[in-house]
Structure 1
Amino acid sequence: MSVFTRIDARLGLFALRPLDPDADAPLLHRWVTHPKAAFWLMGDADVAAVAREYRRIAAHPHHDAYLGSWRGRPAFLAERYDPARVELVGLYRPEPGDVGMHFLCAPTDTPAHGFTRAVITTVLAWLFADPATRRVVVEPDVRNHAVHALNAAVGFTVVGEIRKPEKDALLSVVTRDQFRDATEGDPPA
């Protein structure tokens, strides 16, 4: 059951559905343990550990995980969280309407040009579809230069570096208007 769909003018249908921690664990295990997912910090996890982590997220009142599909096939993972209660507690000054986000594209041998940007655009469009969302907050690893460039392309501005227990992160935020302005030249969705 999809909670959000978006048609990308170049790449077609993207959709999000709630993650099933047990049923989706084998698929997610392949994604989060792939070398391209090194910044996801689950490279040594087994399937049981992946299922446990996503059961923990599913049980948390302020953190959710979603499986994203492209043209009807699983293709990405998205997480939504309340940064004032999860991930960033005490590390930044939250504002009303802040929503935290993580996303991970599935590894592939046949990459589609513009796919990752279409995924982050879909995830942000989903988050901003909720009128209560005023800003999206992210905290990628400071060494993840590819995602910093992608974040900038969709309107994120850097707040500064923060130290988390598992990494040094680059705290960044995007407002609804910044996202719209950064993506208004994109083909209509």
Structure 2
Amino acid sequence: MSTTAELGTFTVRPLDPVGDAPLLHGWVTHPKAAFWMMQEAKLHDVEREYMAIAASGHHEALLGLLDGEPVFLMERYDPRHVELVGLYEPEPGDVGMHFLVAPSDTPVHGFTRAVITAVMEHLFADPDVRRVVVEPDVGNKAVHALNEAVGFVPVREIDKPEKRALLSFCTREQFRKAVAA
């Protein structure tokens, strides 16, 4: 998937909703994952959420690894059917994305940016993907800065049932230009 000289090699694999649930439970309930909106989730809630995603024909969850060790969660979805239905006019080649970096007691400078770059490289490896769509909480300033760093352009605020979100897009060309800079 993606290799960085400083960090190692990022890869992804399909998420096992039951087998990976204990790991994910620790990530999604961590205080740093407040915008993931699963702070009060129990283990069975995490299993149920990711079993539903696995059963969906329009949403998938992937576990991101760094040199074989789990370090992030990535979700890819079809915005015509999931998350953004009726909130914007999808274009051919649009794909929605969420990502969550595992909490760490020893943060590494640039790690989260390397993760989002790897996520975007994975998405754009699919030749059918023309544009990545995200809808983070308007209050999540850290992710807005990360999104901008990889080429996302905010379009407008939208009201989702669970949050007020900043709808943003990134084309393949915008991504390439941003990471080349």
Q: Same fold (TM over 0.5)?
A: yes
Q: 1:68 aligns with which of 55, 64, 70?
A: 64
- For residue 97 of structure 2, the aligned residue among 95, 101, 121 is 101
Query: Secondary structure, in 3 states, of the residue corresponding to 2:146?
Result: helix
Runs of 4 or more off by more than 3 Å in structure 1?
A: none
Amino acid at match of 2:88: Y
- Structure 2: distance between partners of 1:109 and 1:72: 19
Report deviation, 1:165. 0.2
Aligned residues with identical type, % of pairs: 68
Q: Tell me whether 1:142 sits opposite 2:138 in the alignment.
A: yes
How far, CA to CA, are the matches of 1:45 and 1:166 in structure 2?
A: 15
Residue 3 of structure 2 aligns to a residue in which SS?
strand
Per the alignment, in what secondary structure is the counterpart of residue 22 of structure 1? coil
Distance between the aligned counterparts of 1:73 and 1:110, measured in 2?
A: 15
Quote the Cα distance in structure 1 between the aligned partners of 2:6 and 2:86.
41
* Residue among 168, 173, 177 paired with 2:169: 173
RMSD: 0.6
Equivalent of 1:85, from 77, 81, 88?
81
- Partner Cα separation in structure 1 for residue 133 and residue 176 of structure 2: 16
User: Of 33, 36, 52, which residue of structure 2 is paired with 1:37?
Assistant: 33
Tell me the TM-score normalised to structure 2 length: 0.99
Query: Counterpart of 2:159?
Result: 163
Query: Are residue 114 (structure 1) and residue 110 (structure 2) matched?
Result: yes
The whole-number CA distance in structure 2 between the counterparts of 1:170 and 1:115 is: 23
How far residue 10 of structure 1 moved from its aligned partner, in angstroms, is 2.0
Unaligned runs of 5+ residues in structure 2 are: none
TM-score by length of 1: 0.95
Distance 2:116 2:60 in 1: 17
| CA shift for structure 1 position 12 | 1.2
Describe the SS at the equivalent of 1:68: strand
The number of residue pairs the alignment matches comes to: 181
Give a deviation string over 1:76-120, Cα, whole Å, max 9, x none: 000000011100000001000000000000000011111000000
Question: Structure 1: which 5+ runs fail to align?
Answer: none
